[in-house]
């Protein structure tokens, strides 16, 4: 049977009835149709039907999955796009929330609250003895405060996190406002409003001068008063007070500078402390510090070379009945030595630090160091010298440990209690005054076999009782001795002796440097100056319109409180030649029902903008920004459309 070549569905080869129905092919020749628009549309429709049929069969046979708009690949791509959009939206929301002024204020408040524990609790960098005593007095919840970092608040990770979040929030909040302020400085004041009579302060009157002369006089007056001018054919729009926003921005930028200065000092600064006994000296090297902390930018070779020798320490206390025992004077006489220079004798007092090559040396604390001599069982001197005792109360009752690891045949150790002014009463033996009026040293004794030195560091204020045995008297009671200056005590069984030879004072020095201190101080002063400008400068707008022989003037303050505005409007009216107010309310407008005096009514349908009018509003979140044609609503203008009083002419 012959095949018609023009049949679009005819097979190219003869088929038997048992064969499956043929599929339309994309490569089949198009049928010969008569020319014309109708036949062209029919041909395109037939071709589309053929293509869709083949794609449908391909999907049924598992082919062309990647090209299926409703297939799993396309569905996965849609899900990925939705996820990207959600992540992008979440990030935008998080950034907008973090950089809002409300978040910055909340973080600033949180930073202030976080600093409260640093003022109420002793801090390790400045009072390690106080922290140790606090832990002894509060064994239950003291360790929990230690885990939370409340004994080093300003160095804790959570304080640093709040600090960094505040830093980022301030930057993200201030930079857009700086750009908006820059744009406002380049822009002209806003256009003239439609109706001056709706302003809180306005005046109108007739003048016999030409319009150009009136405007010239008004412009000269306004420029002399420091206003920026926008002059039009029918009037003048003037504005001043741009420094208010500048002061506001300077204040916030100074806060950022303060944070930068503090970070600078934290990264490159260091702080350490050392206890120095009278007659001893301290050299500014790492091995001489009892405690030391530094930022990641610190290098040991940056430590300035100097030595401080403590020649004498003086302390005076109140002896009267009022505030008895209160400190009255702490003063250390020191000798400072530097390479290549002559030693200098100086006084070091509380709140009067020494500055040596950019390093500050402060006087932090003081105490007593009993001078003792320990002899071993062989009669040899195993230890001799002052021993630092740490004060435990206001009367300087002090605890300390005396160690003689080189004693033979047994090493010796003593736990001691020093009382500057010892007294025995119903409360037992105790110190009743911080000065050394009746010093006594109470000790108990320990002994044990010699121990091999391992070089491992140990706390000099705590006795490690491992391998030691407390010495006992024949009656089974622990050996206890009470010593006065110049007395000694012999240990039982000929194990040695201990003598109380004298008394010296010690002082605790803090050696530190803060590279960004001057930067922080300058930023704080600049912040105060910016805040002062922001609180004193008053943004104000004045307007003049000339229509024939009639002249109108009006004014508006862009912040609450308008002291001086009526006088400014009156002065402008006088400069324009208006003899007295007329044709309008000279001062406050009459109160409108539901609105206090000096405000506008809500139903001002005649103040809607005219077609083609424009209003320029500066960027900012709640802050008056120069360059805005429309002022903020005045206090008491409830129910009024925003900026309704300044619709452009």
Provide the pLDDT confidence category of residue 39 given band limits of 50, 70 and 90: very low
Contact between residue 278 and residue 254 where contact means Cβ atoms under 8 Å apart: no
Question: In the numeric block, which tokens belong to residue 253?
Answer: 């930028």
CA distances from 47 to 4, 5, 8, 27, 180 (A): 19, 17, 10, 11, 59
**φ, ψ for residue 573, nearest 5 deg:** -60, -40
C-alpha pair distances (Å), 13 with each of 3, 21, 32, 161, 178: 9, 12, 20, 80, 80
**If you ran DSSP here, which 8-state letter would residue 632 be given?**
P
What pLDDT score does 475 carry? 85
Across the chain, what does the average pLDDT equal? 77
* Structure confidence by residue, pLDDT tens digits, 109-151: 888 888 888 888 888 777 776 787 788 888 888 888 888 888 8
Whether residue 377 has pLDDT greater than 50: yes
Q: If 0-12 CB within 10 Å is exposed, 13-18 middle and 19+ buried, where does residue 255 land?
A: buried
Quick one: pLDDT at residue 84?
63
- Confidence at residue 238, expressed as pLDDT on a 0 to 100 scale: 93
* C-alpha dihedral (373, 377, 378, 384), degrees to nearest 10: -10
Q: Which two tokens stand for residue 420?
A: 């500057």
Mean pLDDT of all residues in 461-465: 87
Question: Residue 449 in contact with residue 472, Cβ under 8 Å?
Answer: no
pLDDT surpassing 70 at residue 81 = no
Contact call for residues 602 and 214 (beta carbons, < 8 A): no
Q: What is the mean pLDDT of residues 375-382?
A: 92
Phi, psi of 604 (to 5 degrees): -105, 70
pLDDT for position 266: 82
Closest CA to 305 of 266, 336, 346, 277: 336
User: What is the Cα–Cα distance from 415 to 430, expressed in whole angstroms?
Assistant: 16
Q: Which residues pair with 348 in a beta bridge?
A: 332
Model confidence band, residue 376 (pLDDT cutoffs 50, 70, 90): very high
Residue 488 pLDDT > 50: yes
Residue 203: pLDDT over 50 = yes
- What are 546-564's pLDDT values in tens digits? 988 899 999 988 776 557 8
What is the model's pTM?
0.59
Residue in 303, 285, 309, 296 with CA at minimum distance from that of residue 358: 303
Reported as a single tens digit per residue, the pLDDT across 242-270 is 888 899 899 989 988 988 888 888 888 88
- Rg from Cα positions in the chain: 44
Number of Cβ atoms within 10 Å of the Cβ of 520: 18
**3-state secondary structure at position 71:** coil
- Residue 373's pLDDT is 95
Instruction: Return the beta strands (E) in 473-525 as ranges.
Output: 480-484, 487-490, 497-513
Q: Report pLDDT for 79.
A: 65
Question: In this predicted structure, what is the pLDDT of residue 108?
Answer: 84
| Residue 443, beta-bridge partner list | 416, 481
- Inform me whether the pLDDT recorded for 88 exceeds 50: yes
Q: At 13, is the pLDDT very low, low, confident or very high (cuts 50, 70, 90)?
A: very low
């Amino acid at each position: 049977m012959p095949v018609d070549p023009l049949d679009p569905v005819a097979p190219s080869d003869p088929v038997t009835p048992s064969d499956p129905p043929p599929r339309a092919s994309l490569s089949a020749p198009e049928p010969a149709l008569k020319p014309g628009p109708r036949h062209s549309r029919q041909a395109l429709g037939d071709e589309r039907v053929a293509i869709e049929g083949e794609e449908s069969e391909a999907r049924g046979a598992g082919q062309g999955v990647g090209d299926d708009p409703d297939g799993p690949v396309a569905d996965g791509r849609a899900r990925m796009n939705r996820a990207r959009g959600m992540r992008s939206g979440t990030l935008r929301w998080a950034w907008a929330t973090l950089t809002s002024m409300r978040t910055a204020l909340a973080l600033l408040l949180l930073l202030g609250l976080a600093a409260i524990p640093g003022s109420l609790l002793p801090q390790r960098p400045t009072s390690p003895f106080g922290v140790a005593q606090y832990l002894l007095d509060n064994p239950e919840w003291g360790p929990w405060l230690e885990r939370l970092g409340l004994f080093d608040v300003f160095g804790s990770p959570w304080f640093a996190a709040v600090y960094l979040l505040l830093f980022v929030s301030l930057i993200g909040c201030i930079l857009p406002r700086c750009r908006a302020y820059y744009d406002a400085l380049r822009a002209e004041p806003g256009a003239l409003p439609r109706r001056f009579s709706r302003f809180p302060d306005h005046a109108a009157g007739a003048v016999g001068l030409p319009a150009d002369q009136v405007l010239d006089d008004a412009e000269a007056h306004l420029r002399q008063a420091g206003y920026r001018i926008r002059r039009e054919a029918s009037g003048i729009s003037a504005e001043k007070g741009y420094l208010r926003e500048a002061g506001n921005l300077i204040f916030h930028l100074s806060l950022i500078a303060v944070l930068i200065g503090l970070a600078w000092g934290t990264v490159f600064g260091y702080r350490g402390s050392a206890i120095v006994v009278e007659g001893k000296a301290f050299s500014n090297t790492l091995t001489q510090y009892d405690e030391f902390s530094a930022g990641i930018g610190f290098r040991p070779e940056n430590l300035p070379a100097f030595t401080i020798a403590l020649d004498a320490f003086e302390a005076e206390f109140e002896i009267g009945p009022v505030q008895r025992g209160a400190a009255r004077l702490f003063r250390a006489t020191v000798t400072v030595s530097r390479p290549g220079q002559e030693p200098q004798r100086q006084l070091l007092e509380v709140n009067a630090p020494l500055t040596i090559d950019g390093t500050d040396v402060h006087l932090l604390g003081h105490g007593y160091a009993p001078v003792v001599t320990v002899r071993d069982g062989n009669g040899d001197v195993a230890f001799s010298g002052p021993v630092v005792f740490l004060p435990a109360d206001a009367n300087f009752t002090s605890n300390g440990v005396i160690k003689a690891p080189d004693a033979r045949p047994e090493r010796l150790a003593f736990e001691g209690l020093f009382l500057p002014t010892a007294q025995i009463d119903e409360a037992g033996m105790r110190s009743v005054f911080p000065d050394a009026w009746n010093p006594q040293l109470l000790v108990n004794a320990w002994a044990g076999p010699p121990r091999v030195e391992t070089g491992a560091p140990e706390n000099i204020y705590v006795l490690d009782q491992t391998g030691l045995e407390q010495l006992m008297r024949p009656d089974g009671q622990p050996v206890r001795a009470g010593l006065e200056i110049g007395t000694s005590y012999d240990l039982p069984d000929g194990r040695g002796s201990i003598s109380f030879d004298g008394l010296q004072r010690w002082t605790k020095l803090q050696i530190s440097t803060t590279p960004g201190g001057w930067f922080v101080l300058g930023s704080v002063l600049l912040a105060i100056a910016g805040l002062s400008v922001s609180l004193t400068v008053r943004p104000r707008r004045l307007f003049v319109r000339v229509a024939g022989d009639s002249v109108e003037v009006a004014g508006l303050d862009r912040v609450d409180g308008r002291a001086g505005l009526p006088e400014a409007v009156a002065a402008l009216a006088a400069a324009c030649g208006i003899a007295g107010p007329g044709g309008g309310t000279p001062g406050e407008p009459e109160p409108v029902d539901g609105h206090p005096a000096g405000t506008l009514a809500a139903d001002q349908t005649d103040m809607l903008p005219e077609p083609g009018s424009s209003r320029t509003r500066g960027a900012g979140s709640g802050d008056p920004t120069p360059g805005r044609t429309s002022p903020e609503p005045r206090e008491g203008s409830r129910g009024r459309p925003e900026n309704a009083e300044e619709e452009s002419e």
